[in-house]
Structure 1
Amino acid sequence: MSCGEPHDTDCTEVLSEVWLFLDHECDEKRRLLLEQHLDECSPCLEQYGIEEHLKVLLARKCGGEHAPEEFKQRLRDQIRKTVAEQGGVPVHDRLD
């Protein structure tokens, strides 16, 4: 997807990382770049809003049980791999 406007960070790249952004899974520098793009790009901001609402809904409906940390790490690793394969963009790890 592209809104047709020039941005420092491409729309496709931003949307492929929106879940990482929502989950605070990217480092601060990357987060600021994604945030700047969302501030400038209405179509991406709209898509981000849909994803954010979905995350809230999932948390509300499925948030009672907590998965083991090992499972969550395997899931994060698989999501990163899938995002990188489908989006063709590098996925930046969060700095702990």
Structure 2
Amino acid sequence: MSASDTSHEHLHDGDPTNAECADFLERIVRLIDNELESGDCAVVRAHIDSCSPCLERYDLQRTVKAVVARSCGETAPADLRARVRVQIQEIQLKLR
């Protein structure tokens, strides 16, 4: 059965098999990054809705990406930036 099959015949007690979930891991990340076509988005969302472990992975990936994005938007304190500039200038002088 392909990973793009939207039927739920592959479910065992409400959860897809581990092999199927492995097929979805990369697609879940691509979904979060908005890199999937709309048809694939629907398939991945349907899988996430029916699979608690994949829903947990999806939530974790979204949280990690949000924390990283928020952290990357911060500006270093002025004194740290100044110290780094001085060190760069010292290294440049040594290399000349």
Deviation at residue 63 of structure 1 after TM alignment = 3.5
Residue 21 of structure 2 contacts residue 54 of structure 2 at CA under 8 Å; is this kept in 1? yes
- Identify the residue that residue 50 of structure 1 maps to in structure 2: 60
Identity over the aligned pairs, expressed in percent?
A: 31
Query: For the residues of structure 2 that align with 1:63 and 1:25, how far apart are their CA atoms?
Result: 22
* TM-score, scaled to structure 2: 0.55
Structure 2 unpaired stretches of 5+: 1-10, 76-96
Is the partner of 2:34 in helix, strand or coil? Answer: coil
Post-superposition CA distance 1:33-81 (Å, at most 9, x none): 000000000001011111110010011001369xxxxxxxxxxxxxxxx
Post-superposition CA distance 1:1-33 (Å, at most 9, x none): xx96447xx211111222210011010000000
- Identify the residue that residue 13 of structure 1 maps to in structure 2: 23
Kindly report which structure 2 residues correspond to 1:83-94, keeping only aligned pairs within 5 A, or say none: none
* TM-score, scaled to structure 1: 0.55
Report how many aligned residue pairs link the two structures: 61
Runs of 4+ in 1 over 6 A off after TM superposition: none
Distance 1:61 1:6, change over 3 A: closer
